[in-house]
Amino acid sequence: MKKVAVIALGGNALLRGDQAGTIDEQEQNTTDTLENLVHLIREGYELVITHGNGPQVGNILMRNDAGEMIYKIPQMPLDICVADSQGGIGYMIERMLRNVLKKHNIDKEIVTLVTQVLVENDDPAFQEPTKRVGKIYSGEEADKIAGEKGWIFKEDKKRADGWRRVVPSPKPVGIMNERVVETLVRQGTIVIAAGGGGIPVYIDEEQRVRPSEAVIDKDSASSLLASQINADEFYILTDVSYVYINYGTPQEEKKEFLNYNDTVKYLEQGMFGEGDMAPKIHACLDFIKRGGRKSVITEAFKLEDKSYGTKITMEYED
């Protein structure tokens, strides 16, 4: 049976920090990244692709704000904005990937699935929102909007008197339609799913699916999806080639191979930045703990070169 790999696109895979974010830039970045997946397909892997949506959903939220302020267009809730970004980014990835496969004479079907991800409505994250979304407001603007809409704001250090809306980031507990994803990928279809961490939803007392005003960590949702479809390997593509311990110190050391226990030890010692590498490490460890064979964190454009990247397994491989 062919191996299944879940590939989480992030970092500079779709949009780089120094770019304006035009569609031409995003399409070129996406194409460059997808070129690096061709060797996995040639090696017999079946692929599920997930992706981030941070800059894109932020732009959607700002368009929301502008539309309401200037044209009195009613704002859409956060779950709809996440769904919008999933559809748009998924379409872009699918179209670019079709062109890449045609270039390499590879005949495979591709499908984009707008994915709902289950969270618990009583997750502690709802009591302490931390995820910044949308535009930066002045203190006066933030106070006014908080009074009108009940939004929660926290100071943003990027600008003096800058405040941004914060929303909860609950833990994903289930992927809706995961059986569809597994069936399709094992039939040979490349599936694009769980974009931006998925659209967060919960089940209410009457067993109805309800939207949640939250965002889900993309790598955590991707890890869970990988486990639920019984994937063999889980890849996080980012903007660094390796994971380091003692990063930025004279004792800095890159780690090409890590086992589960050593990675947990380094995590507990604070070796990985909480807002940067730590969430990726948690996602990789969760996948391994749930039975996955290998997690890999590597640079988006170095995937084909197997000498790059940090590989995490339960035990050190021979």
Domain ranges of the chain: 4-120+172-313, 129-167
* C-alpha–C-alpha distance, residues 106 and 115, integer Å: 26
Judge whether 12 counts as a catalytic residue. yes
* C-alpha–C-alpha distance, residues 88 and 84, integer Å: 6
Catalytic residue among 54, 280, 309, 311: 280
Nearest to 310 by CA among 222, 226, 247: 247
Sequence-separated (6 or more) residues with CB below 8 Å from residue 251: 245
Judge whether 218 counts as a catalytic residue. yes
Catalytic residue among 64, 131, 196, 311: 131
CB contact at 8 A, 309 and 302: yes
Judge whether 29 counts as a catalytic residue. no
Dihedrals φ, ψ of 228, to 5°?
-70, -25
> Would you list the DSSP string of the chain?
---EEEEEE-GGGT--TTS---HHHHHHHHHHHHHTTHHHHHTT-EEEEEE--HHHHHHHHHHHHHHHHHH-PPPPPHHHHHHHHHHHHHHHHHHHHHHHHHHTT----EEE---EEE--TT-GGGGS--EEEEEEEEHHHHHHHHHHH--EEEE-TTSTTEEEEEE--PPP-EETTHHHHHHHHHTT-EEE--GGG-EEEEE-TTS-EEE-S----HHHHHHHHHHHTT-SEEEEEES-SSEEESTTSTT-EEESEEEHHHHHHHHHTT-S-TTTTHHHHHHHHHHHHTT-SEEEEEETT-TT-TTSSEEEESS---
Catalytic residue among 12, 36, 53, 64: 12
Judge whether 59 counts as a catalytic residue. no
pLDDT at 318: 60
* C-alpha–C-alpha distance, residues 196 and 181, integer Å: 17
Judge whether 255 counts as a catalytic residue. no
CB contact at 8 A, 118 and 156: no
User: Going residue by residue through the chain (318 aa), what tens digit of pLDDT does each one get?
Assistant: 789 999 999 856 788 777 888 999 999 999 999 999 999 999 999 999 999 998 888 889 889 988 998 999 999 999 999 999 999 999 999 999 999 999 999 999 999 999 999 999 999 999 999 888 877 889 999 999 999 989 999 998 777 889 988 999 999 999 999 999 999 999 999 999 999 999 999 999 999 999 999 999 999 999 999 999 999 999 999 888 999 999 989 999 999 999 999 999 999 999 998 778 999 999 999 999 999 999 999 988 888 887 889 999 999 876
Catalytic residue among 54, 58, 218, 292: 218
pLDDT at 12: 66
pTM exceeds 0.85: yes
For 4-120+172-313, which CATH class?
alpha beta
Place of tokens 């996948």: 287
Tokens representing 110? 């591709």
